[in-house]
Every structure is written in C-alpha cells, then in structure tokens.
Amino acid sequence: MSGLKNSPFGKRLRAAHQDTDDDTPRRNRQRVNPAFVLTSPATAPIPVPPLNYSQLTASDTPGPESPENTSRVPREYGDRFVPSRDTGDMRTSYHLMDDSGPSTPSKHRTIPTESDAIKEQANAIFNSILHSEVTPPSPRRPVSPTRPAQPPSTIAPTTPTRRRIFRYTSPSPTPTSGRRLDTPTDEAYSMSPVRAESRQLLESPRRQLRSVCKTPYRVLDAPDLADDFYLNLVDWSSTNVLGVGLGSCVYLWTAHNAAVSKLCDLSGNGDTISSVAWVQKGTSLAVGTLSGHLHIYDAPTLSLIRTYAPAHSQRIGALSWNGHILSSGSRDRMVHHRDVRENAGGRPFRKCAGHRQEVCGLRWSGELGMSFGNPRAAVGVSGVEGGMGAPSTGGAPAQGPGGSGMGSALASGGNDNKVCIWDLRGSRRASSVASSIHSSGSGPGGGIGTSTRRSRSNSGSDGDGDVPLWKFHEHTAAVKALAWDPHVAGVLATGGGTQDKHIRFWNTFTGTMLNELDTGSQVCNLIWSHTSHELVSTHGFSSTTAQNQICIWRYPSLSQVASLTGHTHRVLYLAMSPDGETIVTGAGDETLRFWNAFPRREGAGEKGGGVLDWGKLIR
C-alpha cells in the first residue's frame, strides 16, 4: 500500500486534493465522517478519498457551511412570455382582431379635413390583400381515390365465358392529378411578390369615386351678415334667385347674370332682418324681423304685398312655406300658421305651443311645395291662380292623395333641445266646429304615426295650441338644423348645437331614432341632396382645432364623402340651388361661398322631352 502512496499517481492525487482545500489551518479543522456529509449531489463535487485514512481531515471532506458564510443567489425570472404558436390558428386570430379601434370621447373627436372616400377604398383593398397574404387558405389535401361501392351480387359465381384476356387497345385515361411544378402557371414560377388572388384584386377595375372640388368657385362679400346661431338669413328660390338678409336690408342676387338688387330697407323703422324664406314654387319672399313683424314681398317687382304687424311678440327666427301656408317660429316659443290668401287681420288660423324656449328651426316635409288646396297653385302676385288675394275656401286645407298629401308634417326645433313633429291635417278654420276629435291613420294611405288629439277652435284667439304628434328629447343642445329626406318618406335628420354635436335620424312614422352620428362639432345646418342620397352639414364651435367645416355624408352608411373648408367663422347659413348641384354657405366672416357639391342630375340636360312637347314638331 505504501508503494501506491509514494507512486506518481498517488502524488498527483494528493496534489489535487490540496488545491481544493481552503486556507483554514489544518490543525483547527474538525474530523468529519464523509458518510454524514450533507451535500447536494448535483452541485457539490464528489470528493476522492485519500488512500491513507489516517491523514483524512475535515478539509478533505466537504461539510455543511455555516449560515454566516452562506450567500443565496436570487433566482432571475424572465419578463417575457413567448407562447407556442404551433397549435394556433392565424386565420382565426386575424378575424378576432378589433377593426374599430379604441373609442374616443366626443370632445376629442375631430371632423376630417380631407375626403375619406378614396382612403376608405384603399384601406378596403389593402385589408383584403393583407388577409389573403398573411392568412392564406390552407391547401386541401388530395383525397385518395376510393373504389365505388358495388352492391352485393346475389348471383352465384359461374364459370367465365370465353373472352379475350389480352386486348390491343389503350385503356381509357383516368383523371389523375399531375405534379404541381409541371404547371407553367403555378405560383412557384410567378415573378410577382403577391399571390394570384391578390394580383387579380389589384388588377380588377375599381369604381370611380366622385370627386368634390375643395375650393369655392365664387366668393361674395356679405357685410353685416349676423353671426347669430338662431337666425336664418340665406335662402335660394326655385327661380334661381338668392335672398340674403344683411342688417336691416334684404338683397337679391340673380344667379344667371350675377345681378344684385335691394328688396327692402327697414332702417327707417329701426328694425333688423332675422329670417328670410322663399316660397317653394313662386317669387314671393317672406321676411321676419327682430321686432316680430312679418313681411311678404314680390321679388320681380320689388314690392311689398302684405305685412303682419305684429306677427309675434318677439323676433321671428324661423320661417317655412307649405304652399300658401306660411309657418313662423319665434322667440316667444310659439309656432303660428297663416294662410297668405286670406286677409283676416293678420291672425294665424292655428297656433302650436310645444317648446319652452325659442323656436330656431322649422321645416315642412313637402320639398316640392304641393299646396293644400290645389297642387298646381303657387303663391305669387295677385292674378295668378291660387296667389295672394284669392279668397279662402273657408274649410280645412285639402289633403293629398290618400289623405296624406305633400307637406303634411312640420318639424320644429328649439333652444330647449327638443324636436317636435306636428300634423296639421284635419284642422278646422274659424267657421268650423269648436272642437272635434280626429285620428290620423297609420296605414299606407295614412300619415305619420297614429294619434288621437283634440282640434281646438282656430278663430285666432290665444290658446294653448295643439299637442305635437312626436316629441324627441335625445338632443342635449339647441336644435336648429332640420332636414327631411327627399328620397325616403318620413325620415328626418336633426342636428344639435355645441354641447350635442350629433346628427340624428328619425323615423317619424314610428317615432323611433334610426341612427346617430357624432360629428365632433356644432351642427348649424342640414340639407339633403336631390341628385344623390347624401347629406350636407355645416359646423361651428368645436372642442378641437377642426371647426367651421362643410361636410358631405353618405346615407345610410354615414361615411364622409368630402370635407370643405374656407370659412374662418361658424358656418351658420346654408342653401341649395334649384338644380341641386350647388350649395351656398354663409358665415360670421361676412362672406358667401358657392361650392359645386353634387353631380348633375341624370337627364337634366334634356329639356322638353315629353310626348306632348309640340314645339319640337314645328319646323
């Protein structure tokens, strides 16, 4: 044994043990039996016992460390978790993505400054291409051909007849799927970075989007144009004449020759213009003033036809015609209806009280201006059929076919944030019975909704007025913007003020809200296009930098077609030309701007195309 100890192997083994010993003096070490050493087999090295057990000391065998010298190393945890995507479905994950994005509060909404039509189309194409490229459809695995199941034969097997086994004809070719790379049009040989479906989508013809000119083609100065949200000072007649109220004067601008004429000047009376409105078919212009007077002028002769003084106790901010019926809304919270053909001391034949604050918006549902008594009647100068000075029939206003007629519903908006729908059909005149019960039908031949109400005496006495057919309370600010949809019967669009910023759409047949749009800005005016199913809105105050814009919306998708800018103040006034192509806007910056907003009506260039146009037959 001593020979092995003194051998070179034993010396190297002892030298290795001395290198692993610590600096503790050898004589102070404790003798520990290696059989009771508490060491972790994974971390502590396995000591090699010396060949001479008599010289075995505590330093030769690792023992338990003292708590003072033990330093625990903190375990480090990763801050990322990478899941395994082997079992994930990319197509399902793509469809679960939220395309709407985070919803922002109304006060942070901004009206876009550019048209979104081209951007929407480009985003839709990009989304389709991204979907087809990132999540392509999984290829279908080829199905092994199966032998068609044969019905079990009930005939017993017999000896085959004499028949040729070897034939010298080629068998019929069976449809076998060829190799993928043998097809010259395979995607593997394509030089395009996208798939064939994406290339087909990119190369397919796209729908031509309507382009809207972003700059006005004409700008007119309008000095003293009031910057008042509750006034209506601009209107465009069916004879292509624009009426504008500037201070105490009313000016007429003829579109075809740009001639300007002064219709009236109320400075001598110390009065100011607060509203103007043209009759739908004719040349009569109604003018309301701050003192509550109502004047009717004939535009071709620049003459005053009739004056109702006073028509209201306070200013008249809203006017609306329906044939020979003139409705006026005032700051005294009342809506008066007058028949301009009769001269009964200027008293209205009907009064409506449905608002608790100023009435700032009025709009009849009859866009074409069909009158109650005669559809062909137009309000104009005396001598014209149905014009001013014609005697009243003394009965209730006649209704249209089926009892509904054009313009049978009136919408009023007020500073009390309410919208009222009125139905004046079945009303009686002064000579009628004092009170009677009427019910408006709701069927196809009926009118708006179903309501049973009491018709009071309309002798001109101050009464409480009738109850509105519908009353909408959803707006949170003053409602001045009102517009009836000319394409869909019974659809009304309303716009709220600064604290509301919403455009809401109503079904006046059922009294329900169809949709709403948060514009992010004060809604001052609304008007529908006659050539396309689109809506124009003008805006004012906003909580963001984007304001004073004219927006065109597509209905019912409520997507923005264009956004027009140019005014430096609130766009408070809006009117449309009789051909439906041009709109004019007025603002507190004392300018009138003309915009080509809508396309030309189809067949508008063809005039006199009827069969009874005998002028074409004369050579």
The phi and psi torsions of 103 (rounded to 5 degrees) equal: -80, 135
CA 193, 197, 202 angle in degrees (round to 5)? Answer: 75
pLDDT of residue 217: 95
Q: What is the CA radius of gyration of the chain?
A: 44
pLDDT of residue 132: 79
Q: Which helix (H) or strand (E) holds 232?
A: none
Give Cα 567 distance to the centre of its chain: 23
Extract the runs of DSSP E, i.e. beta strands, from 457-570: 470-472, 479-484, 491-496, 502-507, 512-518, 521-528, 534-542, 550-554, 559-564
Q: Which amino acid is at 542?
A: S
Q: Which of 228, 324, 235, 323 is nearest to 277 (CA)?
A: 235
3-class secondary structure, 182: helix
Q: Mind spelling out the 3-state secondary structure of 2-57? A: HHHHCCHHHHHHHHHHHHHCCCCCHHHCCCCCHHHCCCCCCCCCCCCCCCCHHHCC
Residue found by looking up tokens 């309410």 in the block: 418
Cα end-to-end span (Å), the chain: 146
Q: Mind spelling out the 3-state secondary structure of 437-454? A: EEEECCCCCCCCCCEEEE
How many CA atoms within 13 Å lie on the side-chain side of 5? 9
Question: How many residues in the chain?
Answer: 619
Q: Which of 207, 213, 236 is nearest to 530 (CA)?
A: 236
pLDDT along the chain (619 residues), means of 10: 68 68 50 45 49 46 48 62 55 50 44 56 80 72 57 57 62 56 74 81 76 93 96 96 97 95 95 96 95 96 93 96 95 95 81 95 72 36 38 36 54 97 62 34 34 35 66 97 95 96 96 94 96 95 81 92 93 96 96 93 54 40
The DSSP secondary structure of 54-68, one letter per residue, reads GG--GGGS--PPPGG
Alpha helices in 112-216 (DSSP H): 117-134, 196-203
Which residue(s) pair with 327 in the sheet? Answer: 320, 337
User: And the tokens for 383?
Assistant: 């001598």
Q: Which of 558, 542, 545, 544 is nearest to 499 (CA)?
A: 542
pLDDT of residue 10: 74
User: Which residues, including other chains, have CB under 8 Å from residue 114's CB and lie 6 or more apart?
Assistant: 563
How many CA atoms within 13 Å lie on the side-chain side of 214? 9
